[in-house]
Amino acid sequence: MKSSTLFVAFATICVALGATGIVSAHQTWIDIDAMCVDIGDTVDVRLTEGHNFAGEGAPPFDVSAELVDPAGVKTPLNKTREDDLHWHSGFDSDQIGLYTILGRHVDEFWWKVYTGLGSRPDRPNSTYTYFPGEVNWSEIDKSNWTDDWHVVRHYKPYKYSKAFVSTNCDFSEADRASEQPLEIIPLDDVATTGTGDFEFQVLWNGEPLPNGTIAITGTRDVETKVSAICDDEGKATLPLNISCDWLITANAASDSAYWDGEYNDTSPHGENYTGPGGFVGNDHRAALTLLQLRGSNTVAMRAEIQSEIQFSVTPTYLDFGELGLGDISDPATIAIRNMGSKDLKSTVEVTDTNGLYTKGLRINASLWGEFETAVPADESVSLDAELHVPENFAGSGEMEGTIIFWAEAI
């Protein structure tokens, strides 16, 4: 049985940003079509905001996104257009491996004011209300507020989002940090979402916050939520037992836990309020969407490979430099990592449109068509690739080609 490192599938990503607490909150998320895509596909990146995967509009104010490609290079994702529901961007998935999409939405700053039970006619069971932007407190009608009303926080919401797209359905590197200020990291294989307990870690500036600071919530829809409080390592486990799309959010566990700022005795309050000063600072929220991998022929093939044949090849790009007729390039190192349960025999296939690589590529001093190597289970093998430019080669300029690595169990 042969199997290629190129797995074909398609994928969706929703990344949401929740508010303080573990209840439903207004969210911003990145919406894509699937987590596994074909190499060469154009991935449409859409940012929207709403509740529980129900988009209500394009996020306002400061919105941006960037892409981390399989080689680890970060590039901005420029806005291409906007409609009633989405902020649009996109990219071409032209490398083999894992792409990470990072979103950032800085919303308008707000005051949260505890005004007492029954102070809001529209929400009679609420004990608080919100005011956006600058507020002239002397002009506010406080007739239905308690005399110990007080500000709990004055914040600008910073919302960070993350999503994954892979051209080979390999998410083994999804547990790496992406240097977001507040970040959710999946510690288990994202391909197993919906099969049981799933562990996450939440980091603030690369480090876990004190035990009990972070609440993490998994949301399927308005009726299906699971939540937990992170421990002193920033870790928490959620029972993601339903095979579906899950929105994972992380934010402050209570009104006394914040990312930056301090309590201020001069914050606005009622004449009979005797508690601590109101919090003045910013609110940071993060989210990650884990989508159910959609069924397709290629996903089935990958599942079979994981039991016997599973391997990766790095790097995903070789640059042989500028060469003349008859020149030999410097060696370029390629590493094959065997992640399966059996020893492998690997061969290669080379394709191009001009004959340069099919005639001139050598691996470990052998013409590519004569090359083969053994890769023991759980080990890596390094190869030297050289390009020998034929004396009679007629082309010029940049020449592109592709090496496909094949493997079979020994």
DSSP3 helix / strand / coil % (the chain, rounded to 5): 5, 45, 50
**Mean pLDDT to the nearest integer, 324-332:** 91
**Distance (Å, whole) CA 89 – CA 163:** 14
Read off the pLDDT of residues 306-315 as tens digits, 9 standing for 90 and up: 456 788 888 8
Query: Is 256's pLDDT higher than 90?
Result: no
d(CA 401, CA 184): 37
| CA–CA gap between residue 291 and residue 96 (Å, rounded) | 20
- 313's tokens: 């090849």
What's the pLDDT at 6?
A: 23
Q: Is residue 341 part of a domain?
A: yes
Q: Is residue 121 part of a domain?
A: no
Domain end marker among 297, 332, 354 = 297
* Separation CA 82–CA 62 (nearest Å): 13
Give the CA diameter of the chain.
Answer: 92
Same domain, 87 and 26: yes
Q: For residue 301, is pLDDT > 60? A: no
- Please report the pLDDT score of residue 234 as a whole number: 93
- Domain-located, residue 126: no
If asked whether residues 92 and 183 sit together in one domain, one would say yes
280 and 335 assigned to the same domain: no
Residue 294: its pLDDT value, please? 59
Nearest alpha-carbon partner for 289 in 244, 235, 259: 244
- Residue 209 and residue 169 in one domain: yes
Same domain membership, residue 366 and residue 225: no
Burial class of 39 by CB neighbour count within 10 A (0 to 12, 13 to 18, 19+): middle
The domain boundary, picked from 268, 297, 326, lies at 297
Q: Which residue has the tokens 């680890």?
A: 72
In whole angstroms, give the CA distance from residue 261 to residue 29: 26
Q: What is the CATH number of the domain that holds 171?
A: 2.60.40.1930
pLDDT of residue 53: 66
Q: Are 263 and 315 members of one domain?
A: no
Name which residue leads in pLDDT, 248 or 255: 248
> Does residue 8 belong to any structural domain of this protein?
yes
pLDDT at position 12 is: 19
Percent of the chain whose pLDDT exceeds 90: 38
Instruction: Answer yes or no: do 236 and 350 share one domain.
Output: no
DSSP letters spanning 70-129: TTS-EEE----EE-SS-EEEEEE--SSSEEEEEEEEE---EEEEE--TT--TTSTT-SEE
Co-location of 221 and 90 in the same domain: yes
- Residue 387: the pLDDT is 92
Same-domain pairing of 373 and 288: no
Residue 263 and residue 350 in one domain: no
Are residues 181 and 158 in contact, defined by beta-carbon separation less than 8 angstroms? yes
Boundary residue ending a domain (264, 297, 330): 297
Q: Is residue 69 part of a domain?
A: yes
State the residue range of the domain holding 392.
309-409
Say if 128 falls within a structural domain. no
- Residues 65 and 172 placed together within one structural domain of the fold: yes
Helix spans in 324-408 (H): 356-360
State how many domains the chain has: 2
Residue 304, SS3? Answer: helix
Encoding tokens for residue 232?
Answer: 């002193």
Phi/psi for 137 (5° steps) reads -65, -25
Residues 291 and 371 in one domain: no
Residue 132 inside a domain? The answer is: no
In a domain, 219, yes or no: yes
Per residue in 105-123, pLDDT (tens digit) is: 998 888 889 999 988 888 8
CATH code of the domain containing 354: 2.60.40.10
**Whole-prediction pTM:** 0.62
- 333 and 384 in contact (C-beta within 8 Å)? yes
Please check whether residue 299 is in contact with residue 170, taking contact to mean a CB–CB distance below 8 angstroms. Answer: no
145-172 tens-digit pLDDT: 999 999 887 778 899 999 999 998 899 9
Three-state SS at 192: helix
